[in-house]
Amino acid sequence: MRLLLLTLYLLGLNLFSEDLDPAIKTEIAKLSQEGHSYLRMKNAKQLERVSSAIYSKSKNSPDSYYFKGAAYYIQKKYKSAIPQFEKALSYNPDHDPTLFLMGMSYFKINLFEKAVVYLEKAAESGSFHPYYRYNLSIIHYTVGNYEKAKIEAEKTLRFKENYFKAKVVLIKSLMRLKKSSEAFRLAREMYERKQELDLSLPLYIELLVTEDNNYKDAISLLTKKSSLSSNEKRLLAYSYMQEGELGKASIFYKQLVSSEN
Q: Identify the pLDDT of residue 19.
A: 66
The string of pLDDT tens digits covering residues 100-112 is 999 999 999 999 9
Q: Identify the pLDDT of residue 13.
A: 45
Say how far apart CA 24 and CA 234 lie, in whole Å.
64
Provide CB contacts within 8 A for 140, sequence distance 6+. Answer: 116, 146, 148, 149, 152
Q: Identify the pLDDT of residue 18.
A: 57
Q: Identify the pLDDT of residue 21.
A: 81
Q: Which of 195, 246, 205 is nearest to 225 (CA)?
A: 205
Averaged pLDDT of the chain: 92
Asked if 159 and 173 touch (Cβ cutoff 8 Å), the reply is no
Helices (H), 177-228: 180-192, 197-210, 215-222
Q: What is the pTM of this model?
A: 0.85
Go through the domains of the chain in sequence order and give each one's CATH number: 1-92 (1.25.40)
Q: Coil, helix or strand for 144?
A: coil
Q: Identify the pLDDT of residue 9.
A: 41
Say how far apart CA 175 and CA 170 lie, in whole Å.
9
Q: Coil, helix or strand for 123?
A: helix
Say how far apart CA 209 and CA 151 lie, in whole Å.
26
Query: Does the pLDDT at position 11 exceed 50?
Result: no
Amino acid at 77: K
CA dihedral 78→83→87→90, nearest 10 degrees, is 100
The string of pLDDT tens digits covering residues 104-138 is 999 999 999 999 999 999 999 887 789 999 999 99
What percent of the chain is predicted at pLDDT more than 90? 86
Amino acid at 107: F
Over residues 22-48, mean pLDDT: 94
What percent of the chain is predicted at pLDDT more than 70? 92
> What is the full DSSP assignment across 107-156?
HHTT-HHHHHHHHHHHHHHTTT-HHHHHHHHHHHHHTT-HHHHHHHHHHH
The string of pLDDT tens digits covering residues 166-204 is 999 999 999 999 999 999 999 999 999 999 999 999 999
Instruction: Please compute, for residue 61, the number of CA atoms within 13 A of its CA located in the half-sphere on the CB side.
Output: 28
Say how far apart CA 36 and CA 163 lie, in whole Å.
22
The string of pLDDT tens digits covering residues 213-241 is 999 999 999 999 999 999 999 999 999 99
> Which pLDDT band, with edges at 50, 70 and 90, does 161 fall under?
very high
Say how far apart CA 111 and CA 94 lie, in whole Å.
21
Q: Identify the pLDDT of residue 261.
A: 62
**Total residue count of the chain as it appears in this document:** 261
Amino acid at 213: N
Chain centroid to Cα 190, Å, comes to 19
Say how far apart CA 53 and CA 5 lie, in whole Å.
19
Q: Which of 142, 178, 197, 177 is nearest to 187 (CA)?
A: 197
Query: Does the pLDDT at position 17 exceed 70?
Result: no
> Which pLDDT band, with edges at 50, 70 and 90, does 74 fall under?
very high
Q: Identify the pLDDT of residue 117.
A: 96
Query: Which 8-state DSSP code applies to residue 110?
Result: T
